[in-house]
Amino acid sequence: MITLYILGAASTALTLLGFFVPARVSRWLATGSVAAAIASLLFTWGQRQTAFGGLYVVDPISQSFTLVALLGVLWALLIGRSEKWEFSLLLLYAAAGMHFMASSPNLPVLLIALEVFSLPLYVLATWQRDERGFEAGLKYFLLGALSAAIFLYGIALHFGATGSFNAGAQGSGPLYVAALLLILGALAFKVSLVPFHWWTPDVYQGSPTTVSLMMATAVKAAGFAALVRVLNVQDQGLWGLGLGALIALTVIFGNLGALAQQESKRLLAYSSIAHAGYVGLGLYSGTATAAIGFYLLAYLLSTGLAFAVLAAISQGDVPYERLRGLLYRKPLLGVAMSVGLFSLAGLPPFAGFWGKLLVFLEAAKAQQWGLLVLALITSAVAAYYYLRLFNLVVARGPEARAEEEAALPAPLVGAPVLAGQGTGGLSLATGRLAAWPLMVATALVVLLGILPGLGYRLFSPTPFAALSRPTTASTTLPASFTITSPSDGAELRAGEFSLQGTGRAGETLEVWDNASRIAEVRVGENGGWSLMLPSPPSVGEHIYQVRRPGEGEGPSVRVRVVE
């Protein structure tokens, strides 16, 4: 809640404040607001909250993905500076939209949140007012609008099939499958899964590097938050096949496409497509939040490093040759780039390795062996193009000519070098990148590589479950609805049971696991309901409870989940 207030108030206030203070101050205000939002997020970490009648929910999904998204925005604010304060303002708007995207289980609200963070990005994509920028912005806008339309139609079908606007509502039949496939397709646009990825290389290349960084990290986090909510159901029917096909295509074409690139930003675009495929592997199992959260954090840090180095060289294109010998010319940039590339390639001991390992484990848990093998093979292919870049960074060659030296902005910290002056003051500064964010991010990639538990524990929901256990666990409430199976005190194996109960025919009930609402069920004509758990529960004690929407406690059972 407090995170939302901070982001909302800050973006509203900065809209008018920007008229009175210099752009530099606006940028620091925006950076401070995002940092404060991150702090508030960490301060309330593990607490659950619901507001606006269930339209806004703070839970592990919201917290994990908001953290990654906000870190992405913070990173963009730290490395991008423009003469116009609207640059910071638009990033702030996008941050607010992403937070809401990660925090709403309500599909129409998800669509609005999607637009709230997409519209600023369409503007930011055209920030460098040249032909490339316009092309990027137009492509991004047209395909974004198309995907929003598909999303909207999916929502309509979802409502038709389930009678509920809530993501993850149970349903069946072709209408339900069609709805999930449409929503999957629309969100796949945002996280650029093949074959919905066509815009990605052009847009990442044409946009200013700072903005591409945002699109590659924060947007993906927000998109995957929605995907986790919408697709987080146990029975993988046809949509599971669809997701598998998307992931298989994504890891193959993303990595093969990257092999053929000659330009660093385009390469990172294809790399981000491939990484979206790896993240998708985590969607198969119910404990996805922790694995995907850690993966996205590791990806954010490593690709953030790579993009930041490119942004320091140029906001436009960075052909491979300009990276040659970077390590000797600009040691900090060289080291940061190398660490980023190693982590992206998934080499130990860098954060990216553990990210990949975690999502691969999720795929193994869900027994998606075919996808897993495919991902492993393509991951090995990917090492080639990452290490090729690394090879350039450390190469001492005759190509490191004087004009190449001159092309690289001399000061890493110092006077600003403006790219493309005379474009209406809209261009982004290049080269004046403060050294400390790079150092911190590099250190974090290595630290999370050596001590991955630090990051993983942050995203793992289990430590917090105990904090929010309901205080009363009554089993004697005489209600017109109840849980009949499993029985109270039963010992059950994870992932192998469903909940069953009775109620009034046609009534909609909420099912709670400990203190979080996990699903909605509709009582059938025979007065009974059943629910496959949307996600396999963690090992340990669980209190399952059914409630009438809007009412307090309902009948509950206490069960032990064992391995």
Partner 1 sequence: MTASPSSEYLAVVVYIAVALAIGILAVVVGAVLGPKKPGRAKLMPYESGNDPAGEVKRFPVHFYAVAMLFIIFDVEVAFLWPYAVSAGSLGIAGFLGLLVFTVLLFVGFVYEWWKGVMRWR
Report the alpha-carbon distance of residue 103 to residue 460 in Å, rounded: 17
Q: Which stretch binds partner 1 (CB under 8 A): 10-18, 111-119, 168-176, 303-311?
A: 10-18
Task: Work out the burial of residue 112: count CB atoms within 10 Å of its CB; fewer than 13 is exposed, 13-18 middle, 19 or more buried.
Answer: middle
Judged by beta carbon, residue 19 or residue 415, the one nearer partner 1 is 19
Contact 48, 67 (CB under 8 A): no
Amino acid at 402: A
Judged by beta carbon, residue 16 or residue 406, the one nearer partner 1 is 16
Residues 6+ apart with CB under 8 A from 400: 324, 325, 329
Asked whether 354 and 278 are in contact (CB, 8 A), the reply is no
Q: Is 58 helix (H, G, I), strand (E, B) or coil?
A: strand
Question: Minimum distance between the CB of residue 17 and partner 1, rounded to whole angstroms?
Answer: 11
156 vs 397: CA distance, rounded Å: 59
Applying CB under 8 A, which of residues 19, 131, 403, 476 lies at the interface with partner 1?
19
Q: Which H or E run contains 501?
A: strand 498-502
Binding of residue 15 to partner 1 (CB under 8 A): yes
Listing DSSP states for 428-487 in one string gives: BEES---HHHHHHHHHHHHHHHH-HHHHHHHH-SHHHHGGG--S---S----S-EEEESP
CB of 7 to partner 1, least distance (A): 13
Q: What distance in Å separates the CA atoms of residue 93 and residue 7, rounded to the nearest whole number? A: 8
Bridge partner list, 58: 49
Which range, of 8-16, 114-122, 132-140, 213-221, touches partner 1 by CB under 8 A? 8-16
- To partner 1, the closest distance from the beta carbon of 113 in angstroms equals 15
12: contact with partner 1 by CB under 8 A: yes
424 contacts partner 1 (rule: CB under 8 A): no
Minimum CB distance to partner 1, residue 38 (Å): 23
Q: Is 421 in the site for partner 1 (CB under 8 A)?
A: no
Cβ nearer to partner 1, comparing 370 with 425: 425
Site membership for partner 1, residue 403 (CB under 8 A): no
Number of residues that bind partner 1 (CB under 8 A): 4
Binding to partner 1 by residue 22, rule CB under 8 A? no
Asked if 550 is part of the footprint of partner 1 (rule: CB under 8 A), the reply reads: no
State yes or no: residue 16 binds partner 1 (CB under 8 A): yes
Residue 5 is a binding residue for partner 1 (CB under 8 A): no
Minimum Å gap between C-beta 134 and partner 1 is 16
Residues contributing to the site for partner 1 (CB under 8 A) = 12, 15-16, 19
